[in-house]
Amino acid sequence: PVTADLEDGYGAGPAEVGATVTRALAAGVAGINLEDGTRIPADFAARLTAARTAADKAGTDLFLNARIDTYLLGLGAPEHRLTETLTRAHHYVAAGADGIFVPGVTDPATISALAAEISVPLNVMAGPGAPSVAELGRLGVARVSLGSGVAQAAYGVAGRAARELLAGGTYDALEDAVPYPEMQGLLAAR
pLDDT digits (tens, 9 = 90+) for 75-127: 999 999 999 999 999 999 999 999 999 999 999 999 999 999 999 999 999 99
Residues 170-179 have a mean pLDDT of 93
| Superfamily, domain 3-147 | Phosphoenolpyruvate-binding domains (3.20.20.60)
Residues 162-180 have a mean pLDDT of 94
Q: State the pLDDT confidence band at 64, using cuts at 50, 70 and 90.
A: very high
What does the alpha-carbon distance between residue 118 and residue 85 come to, in Å, rounded to a whole number? 10
What does the alpha-carbon distance between residue 180 and residue 82 come to, in Å, rounded to a whole number? 46
Give pLDDT, residue 188. Answer: 87
Give pLDDT, residue 187. Answer: 86
**Residue 123, beta-bridge partner list:** 101, 143
Give pLDDT, residue 44. Answer: 98
| pTM of the predicted model as reported, rounded to 2 decimal places | 0.89
Q: Position 137: which residue type?
A: G
Residue 7 has pLDDT above 90, yes or no: yes
Residue 57 has pLDDT above 90, yes or no: yes
Phi, psi for 132 (deg, rounded to 5) = -65, 165
Inter-CA distances, 90 with 45, 84, 131, Å: 10, 10, 25
Average pLDDT, the chain: 96
132-144-142 Cα angle (round to 5): 100
Give pLDDT, residue 156. Answer: 95
Enumerate the domain spans of the chain.
Answer: 3-147, 148-190
Give pLDDT, residue 189. Answer: 77
CA 78, 44, 38, 86: dihedral to nearest 10 degrees? 10
Taking a C-beta distance cutoff of 8 angstroms, is the pair 122, 93 a contact? no
Q: Position 124: which residue type?
A: V
> Taking the CA of residue 29 as centre, how many other CA atoms within 13 Å lie in the half-sphere pointing to its CB?
20
pLDDT digits (tens, 9 = 90+) for 104-118: 999 999 999 999 999
